[in-house]
Amino acid sequence: MTAHDPPASCKVVLAGAIAKSLQLEVGEGLAKVKRKPLLVGFLANKDPAARLYADWTHKTCEENGFRFSLREVDRKDLEGQILAANKDEKVDGIIVYYPIFNSRQDQYLQQLIEVGKDVEGLSHRYVFNMYQNIRFLDEHKLQKSILPCTPLAIVKVLEYLKVYNTILPYGNRLFGHSVTIVNRSEVVGRPLAALLANDGANVYSVDVTGVQQYTRGEGIKKSRHEVVDKDGWTLEDCVPLSDVVISGVPGEGFKFPTRLLKEGAICINFSTEKNFGPEVKDKASIYVPAVGKVTIIVLLRNLLRIVENRKSLSNG
């Protein structure tokens, strides 16, 4: 590039840089705890993605002053192992690396984990609070509710990118933004749509069945989001309206249609595959190709929250 060439129109932001901004917060929280919390992970499958996630968790725990114990078990023994960890006072948090059975039985396992040890925020109490836009577990607002790791990681990415407007009141800071999310899984896509809509965004949630719109109504006057089916809508309708586009489609077959992007949109990929091709840099102003490292730091942040919640409960 010569001195007369314009700067690149797209800034690529890596997850590692965003994670570092959260590590300071986690380190300060750990210093207040004055001990090394123990996170126990259960691996009961041969899924390479689950193994990679477990390895990342172990590495990040060690690097940030936490203890981690990976317990590899047969899936038929997992239920008993979770119940035992629930009772073990030395265990601060529990994570299970899914899928286990690839059926409703996995949802049963999610509900087995004691609420006070669920670092993934998948227990019914946490899920209910998230969809109802209830941010605390107690009426005195001392114990914060736990949010699922990957959706919360994407929220933290958006905060880092200054998409959240800190001039506005907490809870309304995405007002004025339109977001398209290509994924409506119960683990990431739908919770993420609810979180962003509860923070004031107009969200289009897209999957193979169609498009749904999540909002808090005109002027964000409602206390929680509502969902409306957008009959006949496709990506062609919602993407050109969106200043943020988030994609998390599994499998190599899907490539996001970059031609639909609004000029200067922010694009975030949370799939293990590359949903966006290299041409995304010709249209996007900011591109985040992965969020995995942020997810792991958010997991540790959730673990600290759980430890703090337990301390608050014992003091009360």
Q: Six-digit token pair at 78? A: 């997992």
Q: What is the spatial distance between Cα 41 and Cα 307, in angstroms, rounded to a whole number?
A: 17
Judging by beta carbons within 10 Å of its beta carbon (0-12, 13-18, 19+), is residue 101 exposed, middle or buried?
Answer: middle
- Alpha carbon separation from 252 to 63, 180, 203, 249, 272 (Å, rounded): 32, 20, 25, 9, 9
What residues have CB less than 8 Å from 273, skipping those under 6 apart? 249, 250, 251, 252, 254
> In terms of DSSP bridges, do strands 11-12 and 286-288 run parallel, antiparallel, or are they unpaired?
parallel
| Burial (0-12, 13-18, 19+ Cβ within 10 Å), 263 | exposed
Token pair recorded at residue 137: 């577990």
Helix (H, G, I), strand (E, B) or coil at 41: strand
Closest CA to 181 of 120, 257, 254, 269: 269
Choose, from 10, 61, 149, 238, the residue flagged as catalytic: 149
149 is catalytic: yes
Edge-to-edge strand ranges of the sheet holding 67-72: 67-72, 38-43, 93-97
Query: Would you please indicate which residues are annotated as catalytic (active-site) residues?
Result: 149
